[in-house]
């Protein structure tokens, strides 16, 4: 078997490593919260294991699927995600002042996570069909119309962090599609202005932003979460206080098993553990870029670039929030944070990336059809 026909081992190794460490950290970071909220220290661990198995099955199915078939499901899939995002606002339970989930029996499903991958597929299909025809600013209107409805629905939940991720996915895919840089810069400036307006248009977002600028000014209130996160990271030193020995997980760091799981990881495993995580994400992104560069067609290249850009950007946003380099946006850390919807959708996206990596090039397809050279 040619190397090009094999799945990219680096992607799978990075994802498996992140998943394994994620399960361990959910078990540790979620134990106290699980006991307090559900009288079961293994509550979040057991659910995360279930979601990991479901996600692994989704990854396997998507890896075996010819990714070209996704083009047919692009618009119906995006329409479905819009319906689910609208349904959240009507029937979704209010949790923490937001409506982001739909309750299905024992589990909550977050449609905004599904919207990420469906938007990537839709944009890849549209931009591939318009290859070489994205040179005028008018050509950007239709991609913008693809993104605007899900962004507005997600903002209504409200969820500014996911909205920014969706917009950034669009910008990255337009860049890969060859859109002129001046249009992207103009769009980025407009997005920045819109983001500032959105931040200061809601009290909770304004408070978060001001706390990010100087969390120690109100360390017991608005800056509390970031201050506790920094204390956890600083307490870890080089090698950490030991797996399971975190003190900050005892209800000091809010959302310790979800958005701020990296804080607990840094406390328990130290700087060495943090570097291992960063290396795993770097390996995943670099391998994904290689898959995009070697994709056999434009659709595959755009699809892989969108997935890799999503993983890379969301990782930077989460780590930036946890370390105080960016405002807190409530975006989970891929493959590590507790959460079923995010984990299953992310693993399905890895399966799509795997499918693109396994797809033969044009020359390889011709060789297969001809029975091989010299036949």
- Give the model's confidence band at 361: pLDDT under 50 very low, under 70 low, under 90 confident, else very high: low
Q: What is the pLDDT of residues 245-257, one digit of tens each?
A: 999 999 999 999 9
Q: Are 171 and 312 spatial neighbours (Cβ–Cβ below 8 Å)?
A: no
Tell which wins on pLDDT, 276 or 8.
276
pLDDT at residue 356 greater than cutoff 80: yes
Q: Are 212 and 219 in contact (CB under 8 A)?
A: no
Supply the pLDDT for residue 105.
Answer: 72
Report, as an integer, the average pLDDT of 312-321. 93
Distances (CA, A) of 254 to 55, 122, 143, 225: 26, 36, 37, 6
User: Would you list the domain boundaries of the chain?
Assistant: 3-364
* pLDDT tens-place string over residues 264-295: 999 999 999 999 999 999 999 999 999 999 99
The alpha carbons of the chain give a radius of gyration, in whole angstroms, of 21
Does pLDDT of 370 surpass 60? no
Q: Which of 197-211, 310-324, 358-372 has the lowest mean pLDDT?
A: 358-372
**Picking from 142-156, 165-179, 195-209, which range would have the lowest pLDDT averaged per residue?**
195-209
Tell me the pLDDT band of 178, cut-offs 50, 70 and 90. Answer: confident
Rounded Cα–Cα distance for residues 266 and 247 (Å): 12
* Confidence band for 99, pLDDT divided at 50, 70 and 90: confident
- The pLDDT, as a whole number, for residue 364 is 44
Q: What is the pLDDT of residue 375?
A: 32
Instruction: Calculate the average pLDDT of the chain.
Output: 86
d(CA 369, CA 189): 49
% of the chain surpassing 70 pLDDT? 92
């Amino acid at each position: 078997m040619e190397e090009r026909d094999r799945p990219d081992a680096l992607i799978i190794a990075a994802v498996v490593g992140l998943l394994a460490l994620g399960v361990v950290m959910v078990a540790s970071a979620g134990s106290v919260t699980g006991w307090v909220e559900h009288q079961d220290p293994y509550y979040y661990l057991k659910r995360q294991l279930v979601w990991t198995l479901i996600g692994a099955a989704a990854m396997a199915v998507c890896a075996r699927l010819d990714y070209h078939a996704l083009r047919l499901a692009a618009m119906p899939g995006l329409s479905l995600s819009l319906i689910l995002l609208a349904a959240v606002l009507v029937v979704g339970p209010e949790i923490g002042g937001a409506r982001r989930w739909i309750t299905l029996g024992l589990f909550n499903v977050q449609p905004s996570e599904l919207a990420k991958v469906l938007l990537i597929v839709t944009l890849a299909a549209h931009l591939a069909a318009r290859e070489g025809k994205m040179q005028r600013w008018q050509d950007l209107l239709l991609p913008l119309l693809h993104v605007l409805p899900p962004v507005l629905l997600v903002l209504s939940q409200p969820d500014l962090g996911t909205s920014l991720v969706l917009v950034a996915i669009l910008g990255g895919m337009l860049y890969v599609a060859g859109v002129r840089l001046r249009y992207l810069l103009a769009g980025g400036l407009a997005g920045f202005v819109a983001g500032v307006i959105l931040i200061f248009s809601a009290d909770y977002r304004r408070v978060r932003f001001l706390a990010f600028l100087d969390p120690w000014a109100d360390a017991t209130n608005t800056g509390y979460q970031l201050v506790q996160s920094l204390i956890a990271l600083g307490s870890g030193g080089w090698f950490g206080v030991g797996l399971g020995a975190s003190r900050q997980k005892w209800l000091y760091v809010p959302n310790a098993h979800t958005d701020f799981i990296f804080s607990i990881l840094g406390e328990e495993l130290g700087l060495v553990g943090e570097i291992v995580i960063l290396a795993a994400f770097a390996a995943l992104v670099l391998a994904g870029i290689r898959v995009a560069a070697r994709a056999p067609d434009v659709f595959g290249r755009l699809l892989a670039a969108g997935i890799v850009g999503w993983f890379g950007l969301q990782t930077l946003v989460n780590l930036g929030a946890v370390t105080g380099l960016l405002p807190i946006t409530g975006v989970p850390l891929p493959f590590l944070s507790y959460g079923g919807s995010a984990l299953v959708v992310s693993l399905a996206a890895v399966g799509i990336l795997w499918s693109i990596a396994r797809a033969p090039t044009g020359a390889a397809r011709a060789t297969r059809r001809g029975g091989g050279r010299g036949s």
